[in-house]
Structure 1
Amino acid sequence: MSIFRFPLLVWMGIGTLIISLGIRQSFGIFMMPISTHFDTGREFFSLAIALQNLLFGVFQPFVGMAADRWGAQRVIWTGALAYALGLYLTSIALEPNWLFLTLGGLVGLGLSATSYVIVLGAVARVVPAEHTAKAFGLTTAAGSFGMFAVIPGAQYLLSDFNWQTALQVFAMLCGLILAFSCFMKTKPATTPAGQAPEQEQTLREALSEAFHHRGYWLIHLGFFVCGFHVMFIATHLPSYLADKGLPATAAAMALAYVGIFNIFGSYFWGVMGDKFSKRYVMTALYLMRTVVIACFVLFPVTVETAGIFGGAIGFCWLGTVPLTSGLVRQIFGARYMSTLYGLVFFTHQVGSFLGAWFGGRIYDYYGSYEPIWWTTVVLAFLAALIHIPIDDKPIVRQPATA
């Protein structure tokens, strides 16, 4: 299937992710201006972002269940409202503690209802199984394009206006997500043709089946590492580069490179997942991350090496999403994918919480990011090994007897 023949729902999902994840990935460049405004250390902002990611994950299984039951449209519409409200209230916050409720709680809820789990769950219902990883890769790449498009715009708003104005503009952008959701109506809880056994499966049975599958828990562990990586880098790379004496534009450009190269990387890894065993492709991806991060830590940090790192890590940044969601779809089917992948994504967000928080905690304690950088290298190598023993064969269920 050509990508140009994907249903309209896929393209509306892409538009949703461009805005939702583009805004989310820009929060790292707000650390220093917001910390300066409220006269707090980096750990405070890091904790607010960490809480956002943790709640992003906590809400995920519940919004996934809601999407499986009532469809993606209502969930995305609700999430867009929460996202916009959280951004606006953050921009008018009078006390730093407000950020835990606004940037942490409301934005976390908005993200959970407008990002990968909901969008990919909807896509899985309209795209044939043999093209799932490709469709997931293209949809995932959209979030990266958002990163490429939004971060330079955010940097411009910060330079020419202030961080409050930037967040208010982002709040208005969430209105476009409301418009896109109008075209994302799906039939709740449908079952693909030819999969009669799934039709009779209840949510409780699906959860029990997944919880007793060893590969499902290995998928959780691998995605935990992914979350730790991406949120540590997205949150702390700008500050790390500033500590090395690089201008703010270098950090914005490095993150923009992460976004633009991930457009190609996400689609590439998705296509590879359709052609080869997804678990082995995941192993290759994490081995690449291991090498890229280790080289970045070992070599001198300059504007050029920051850009190269952004491009290299971007190529394997969110390639885990089409592969991880594809594994869940491949093993357990599409019927309860939003719920099962939502639980996996919760584990991802636990990793994101720790990555964002520990980055600030370790910096404030040691005055250096070096220990956390080497931790990410070790975790990347372990994640590469974790995926090898996963049994990725689709579960064969016996038809229910009358």
Structure 2
Amino acid sequence: MFHSLRKPDVLLTTLAAAGILLVTMGARQSIGLFVSPLNTSTGLGIATISLALAIGQFSWGAIQPVAGAIADRYGPRPVLIGGVLLLAVGSALTPFVDSAFGLVLTLGLLSAMGSGAGSFSVLIGAAAQRMPAEARGAASGVINAGGSFGQFVFAPVLQGLIQALGWMGAMWSLAVMTLGALPLVNKLTNRPVTQVHHADAGSDGSLRQAIATALRNRDYLLLHAGFFTCGFHIAFLVTHLPGEVSLCGLPASVASWSLAIIGLSNVFGSLYAGACISRYRSKHVLAVMYASRAALIGWYLLAPHTEMTFYLFAAGLGFTWLATVPPTAGIVGKLFGVRYLATLFGLTLLSHQVGGFLGAWLGGLAVARFGDYSWMWYADMALAVFAALVNLPIREAPVARKLAAA
């Protein structure tokens, strides 16, 4: 399957994009480790901190179509450089704030928007425009795996830094680490854009026309509905898994290693998803992924909450964690081509992060009101089933027919 990435220029483009995502997603997906020490240091309360991080979830999604549109018009280089710098600045300023407004500004806006500008929509769009069509599915899987590997690396490292340097020292260290993505931006953007056939470009109209056409497309809207659930699920766990571990009387290291296991497991899940979308319809891949989440949550609720339970739960969920991105981006590309993929997939990610806002925020409200996350787990199961069902009516041509047409 991955033989399509053997060409040196295609492989270099893919690895550069994966490396950038490793940094931006590794930083973003590990932020939940700071919730407890932030609360202890500032006394702001879990609900207030959760609101700031929920705003960050929404900001991360809201910037995606904007960053994608700018990248589609002016190229991805300035967008990616600006995103990395903004992420570093937001992380560096966070230790200096001690109010809800300050936390919203740093983690809710600056860091989140910086991470979003250097994330899926711009990176997958930039890579897709720089390689042949037959390599895009595998490349999206590898790029996505880079983000997951970042979570595997960043979570235990940041937990160790929090314990060794305190949360402020760890946050400043995170700011420095994010700058490591800057050299990779040149590696990605120095590659020339591949000349694609007109039909593959999706449309010869303007960006505004492309967006209007997409928003009238039933299949595109169904895809948004399913991806909304994915955002709810991931943001809830990223933000509140450390709190769930604490409620079960387990050490903080269980949370950091669970997040790391999620990231490592998703490396394999992302690669597998990239291979699957070349053989099966992406909508079926998504339906199976979402249904498996509902089953895993049900198992977790019935199982004894031990360290091993958390690790097994993390491994199972991690396999589909962000592996939904390649098939989702693949459907957007099939529907509209790659000319405005960064923008149109960015809008899909916005729906993902509307769900993310609710997952992070409602999780904080639930634990403040009821003392645990039980109702959030039930809602998560119901939404996972909904996402599995809503993807099935999407009108997607069989893979064999698409390959024959290509």
- Contact persistence 1:236–1:359 (CA under 8 A): yes
- What is the CA RMSD across the aligned residues, in angstroms? 1.7
Whole-Å separation in 1 of the counterparts to 2:301 and 2:392: 27
**Alignment pair present for 1:210 and 2:245:** no
| 1:29 matched residue in structure 2 | 33
Match of residue 15, structure 2, among 11, 32, 37: 11
**Alignment pair present for 1:272 and 2:276:** yes
- Contact persistence 2:13–2:188 (CA under 8 A): yes
> Which aligned pairs between 1:231-270 and structure 2 lie closer than 5 A?
231-270=235-274
Moved more, 172-181 or 72-81: 172-181
Give 5+ residue unaligned stretches, structure 2: 399-406
**Alignment pair present for 1:133 and 2:133:** no
Match of residue 160, structure 1, among 157, 160, 164: 164
Supply the AA of the counterpart residue of 1:161.
Answer: L
Whole-Å separation in 1 of the counterparts to 2:299 and 2:202: 46
Whole-Å separation in 1 of the counterparts to 2:224 and 2:132: 25
Match of residue 224, structure 1, among 223, 228, 240: 228
| 1:69 matched residue in structure 2 | 73
- Contact persistence 1:68–1:189 (CA under 8 A): no
Whole-Å separation in 1 of the counterparts to 2:153 and 2:300: 24
Moved more, 320-329 or 2-11: 2-11
- Contact persistence 1:71–1:186 (CA under 8 A): no
- Contact persistence 1:50–1:353 (CA under 8 A): yes
What is the TM-score when the length of structure 2 is the normalising length?
Answer: 0.94
| 1:318 matched residue in structure 2 | 322
1:191 CA drift (Å): 5.5
Q: Secondary structure at the match of 1:21?
A: helix
1:51 CA drift (Å): 0.5
Whole-Å separation in 2 of the counterparts to 1:188 and 1:134: 20
| 2:111 matched residue in structure 1 | 107
Please give the per-residue CA displacement for 1:256-292, whole angstroms capped at 9, x wherever unaligned. Answer: 1101000000111121111111111111111111111
Give 5+ residue unaligned stretches, structure 1: 395-402
Please give the per-residue CA displacement for 1:210-258, whole angstroms capped at 9, x wherever unaligned. Answer: 1121000001011100000001011101110111111111111111110
| 1:397 matched residue in structure 2 | none
- Contact persistence 1:331–1:393 (CA under 8 A): no
1:95 CA drift (Å): 3.3
Whole-Å separation in 1 of the counterparts to 2:192 and 2:365: 43
Whole-Å separation in 2 of the counterparts to 1:195 and 1:166: 49
- Contact persistence 2:232–2:360 (CA under 8 A): yes
Percent identity, aligned pairs only, is 37
Whole-Å separation in 1 of the counterparts to 2:364 and 2:117: 27
Moved more, 231-240 or 126-135: 126-135
| 1:83 matched residue in structure 2 | 87
Moved more, 196-205 or 55-64: 196-205
| 2:404 matched residue in structure 1 | none
Match of residue 331, structure 1, among 327, 335, 354: 335
| 1:173 matched residue in structure 2 | 177
1:186 CA drift (Å): 6.2
Please give the per-residue CA displacement for 1:311-346, whole angstroms capped at 9, x wherever unaligned. Answer: 000001111100101110111100000110011110
Distance 1:355 1:85, change over 3 A: same
Whole-Å separation in 2 of the counterparts to 1:188 and 1:66: 18
Whole-Å separation in 2 of the counterparts to 1:198 and 1:249: 47
**Alignment pair present for 1:292 and 2:313:** no
Supply the AA of the counterpart residue of 2:5.
Answer: I
1:179 CA drift (Å): 1.6
Supply the AA of the counterpart residue of 2:92.
Answer: Y
Distance 1:278 1:319, change over 3 A: same
Moved more, 167-176 or 219-228: 167-176
Moved more, 172-181 or 320-329: 172-181
Number of residue pairs matched? 394
Please give the per-residue CA displacement for 1:44-77, whole angstroms capped at 9, x wherever unaligned. Answer: 1111110111111122111110000111111000
- Contact persistence 2:203–2:210 (CA under 8 A): no
Distance 1:192 1:162, change over 3 A: same
Whole-Å separation in 1 of the counterparts to 2:300 and 2:106: 34
Match of residue 360, structure 2, among 332, 347, 356: 356
- Contact persistence 2:141–2:326 (CA under 8 A): yes
| 1:341 matched residue in structure 2 | 345
Supply the AA of the counterpart residue of 2:289.
Answer: L
Whole-Å separation in 1 of the counterparts to 2:193 and 2:47: 42
Supply the AA of the counterpart residue of 2:163.
Answer: S
Moved more, 319-328 or 129-138: 129-138
Distance 1:122 1:367, change over 3 A: same
